[in-house]
Amino acid sequence: MELVEIPSNKEVNDNIVAFWRPRDPLKAKSENKLAYRLFWCWADADPGPVARVVQTRSGAAFGGKNRQFVIDFAGAPLDAWKAETPPALDVGTDKGKIVNAVAEANPDIGGWRISIELDTQNQKVVEVHARFMDDKTPLSETWIARWTPS
């Protein structure tokens, strides 16, 4: 699968596409049989080996200068972690500066929450990522966001 982001100047444009590229080129005038399965549901049919991002919120941080991101994660790999000992965070940015990053239990969803305060340092585009880790093993999928000034 190839994932492509088409440049767009408006957030409302549907600018992410995916396409399949076969390992071997398809031959002209030949038959190719393909099979696939689609699922429509509130939760994944197969939750996978890592916790999932279930909700994201973003807005101005207290004081208005920085950006605040709040990401909720839930899933089996995080179930063993107790509120008094949060899992390790892997949080970063390609530009700007992470001012504060905090992990806390979120009993409303039975998962964990990461709160990130980002100083964009007047950059035009900043990419931020976050995930939970256990030593070198990911406990959650990696959340990635691209921030641009509105």
- Report helix, strand and coil shares of the chain as percent, to nearest 5: 5, 45, 50
Per-residue pLDDT at 35 exceeds 90 = no
> What pLDDT is recorded for position 50?
93
pLDDT of residue 41: 78
pLDDT in tens, 108-133: 999 999 999 999 999 999 999 999 99
Structure confidence by residue, pLDDT tens digits, 88-110: 999 999 999 999 999 999 999 99
What b/e readout covers 104-139, taking b as 16+ CB neighbours within 10 angstroms?
ebbeeeebbbbbbbbbbeebeebebebbbeeeeeeb
More confident residue, 72 or 17: 72
Length of the chain: 150
Residue with tokens 């949060």: 86
Give yes or no for residue 46 having a pLDDT over 80: no
Whether residue 119 contacts residue 66, with contact meaning beta carbons closer than 8 Å, is answered with: yes
pLDDT at residue 97 in the model: 96
DSSP 21-80: --SSPPPTT-----------SSS-SS--SSBEEEEEEEEEPTTSSSEEEEEEEESHHHHT
Distance CA 104, CA 72 (A): 10
Q: In this structure, what token pair is assigned to residue 71?
A: 């990401």
How much of the chain exceeds pLDDT 90, in percent?
Answer: 58
Domains recognised in the chain with CATH numbers: 2-147 (2.60.40.10)
